[in-house]
Amino acid sequence: MQVQLAGQAQRPDAESEDFATASPEALVLLDGSSSPAGMESGCRHGTAWYVRRLGVHLMARMTDRSDRDIAECLADAIAETAALHGGRCDLAHPNTPAAMVVAARKHGRSLEYLVLGDSLLVLEPSTGPLQVIGDNQDFTAGESLLRSVWQAELGTAERAALHLRYALAVRAVRNTGDGPWIAAASPKAAGHAETGFVRLDGLRALAALTDGAGRYTANFALGDWPAALRLMADSGPAALIARVREAEESDPRCERWPRSKPHDDATALYARL
């Protein structure tokens, strides 16, 4: 694989909670689950610390354990990262650091992939339509509450309270079997990821995007997925993120395109096979 990647924090003065890494054989993309300001997590390290360590452990397992399937590699990485927290962190806390995951690796004559959460993997075959994989852990029960967040005026106490209420509702059910699954402290979440194989000789390229970068198509409709991949093929993933930032800047009040926050961490990888 020939991989290009780009990432940008939601604000210049903020630390990105995304993580991406790649080799000629594998790639990993993580999107940390951000929390409203002041929300306790039970962890003294934070989300950025968590995603970097989970990402490194997952990449190591994917490249040195071909005998383990990709979901087992993620389970191993989650367990190894949990062990790094130490006794001062409460890993049973519902807001313990967590992340969405996209991972892919060459496995014989196939590409093996995994997606968990609302990040995306886009596969471009040599012939035929693109395949978009991911955004597979929706919280249907919270959709009306999320819409109420979007409808409240940005920067108001009402919106902050609704956002906190939504965040608490999601965390009360995630990784319980009654809500979405996400890579946090329990290895069993890996078993709920979407996984599969695609033959390499039928694949031209692929892209992995956090939801912040996926706004290009999902939120702002700046182009469809074929257009997004053409842009990355011609100008690199940084060009796609730049287009997303332009759209965000043109709508700072989230009025034209309702969304939870004006800007988001955005990371994208594009790989030619």
pLDDT at 38: 75
Residue 32 tokens read as 């940390």
Q: How far apart are CA 166 and CA 148, in angstroms?
A: 9
Beta bridge partners of 178: none
**Domains in the chain: how many in total?**
2
Task: For 207-260, write each residue's pLDDT tens digit.
Answer: 999 999 999 999 999 999 999 999 999 999 999 999 999 999 999 999 999 999
Are 74 and 116 within one domain?
A: yes
Are 151 and 229 within one domain?
A: no
Task: For 174-208, write each residue's pLDDT tens digit.
Answer: 999 889 999 999 999 999 999 999 999 999 999 99
Are 210 and 97 within one domain?
A: yes
pLDDT at 267: 98
What's 97's DSSP letter?
Answer: -
pLDDT at 112: 98
pLDDT at 137: 73
Residue 154 CB neighbours (<10 A): 15
Are 193 and 168 within one domain?
A: no
DSSP 142-200: GHHHHHHHHHSPTTSHHHHHHHHHHHHHHHHHTTTTSS---BSS-GGGGGGSEEEEEEG
Residue pointed to by tokens 């509702």: 169
- Report the predicted TM-score, pTM, of the whole model to 2 decimal places: 0.94
Task: For 39-86, write each residue's pLDDT tens digit.
Answer: 888 898 999 999 999 999 999 999 999 999 999 999 999 999 999 998
Domain extent, residue 48, equals: 2-138+179-259
Do residues 8 and 237 touch, judged by C-beta distance below 8 A? Answer: no
